[in-house]
């Protein structure tokens, strides 16, 4: 549509740019820096076991997925359980993969999504619970370093990871 003077109404509505078909989300430079900074402060051997133990204590119904882990009958038993601690480290190792693949988290987690959905039959709501617990543990460990802005970015990061893990669910 041309108006007098050669002006086109189509110029008022620019063509949308195509999103990156591989990426689930676009990260700003500040978000990338925040995720890297937070991850640089995380001690996998401490935070992973604490987060998983808290999940099992605060949400005891999640224990049903860990029947082979032995005694989970009390908080003390869970906190002292070597299998819980080891799996907490494994979970944080998975997040390490996400940090290293920010532009392709979905594909990086496709095998884990299939495993948790089709073999382990984990309720996908538990991913959100673990993410919330992990954020609480991080806030306690990192103190004033874990600013509101960092927390917002961390939450966005976990949302992307959780979305990737839930991908296989129908």
Instruction: Return the pLDDT at 13.
Output: 43
> pLDDT of 128-150, one tens digit each?
999 999 999 999 999 999 999 99
pLDDT band at 113 (very low <50, low <70, confident <90, very high): confident
Q: In this model, does residue 7 exceed pLDDT 80? A: no
> pLDDT of 29-77, one tens digit each?
999 999 999 999 999 999 999 999 999 999 999 999 998 999 999 999 9
Instruction: Report d(CA 80, CA 36) in Å as an integer.
Output: 30
Burial class (CB in 10 A: 0-12, 13-18, 19+), 72: buried
Q: In this model, does residue 20 exceed pLDDT 60? A: no
């Amino acid at each position: 549509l041309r108006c007098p003077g050669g002006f086109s109404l189509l110029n008022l509505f620019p063509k949308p740019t195509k999103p990156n078909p591989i990426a689930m989300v676009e990260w700003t430079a500040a978000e990338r820096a925040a995720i890297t900074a937070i991850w640089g402060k995380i001690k996998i051997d401490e935070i992973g076991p604490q987060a998983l133990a808290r999940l099992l204590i605060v949400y005891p119904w999640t224990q049903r997925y860990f029947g082979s882990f032995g005694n989970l009958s009390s908080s003390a038993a869970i906190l002292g359980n070597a299998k819980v601690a080891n799996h907490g480290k494994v979970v944080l190792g998975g997040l390490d993969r996400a940090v290293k693949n920010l532009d392709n988290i979905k594909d990086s987690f496709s095998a884990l999504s299939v495993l948790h959905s089709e073999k382990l039959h984990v309720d996908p709501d538990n991913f959100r619970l673990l993410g919330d617990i992990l954020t609480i543990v991080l806030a306690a460990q990192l103190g004033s370093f874990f600013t509101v802005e960092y927390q917002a970015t961390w939450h966005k990061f976990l949302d992307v990871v959780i979305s990737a893990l839930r991908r296989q669910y129908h």
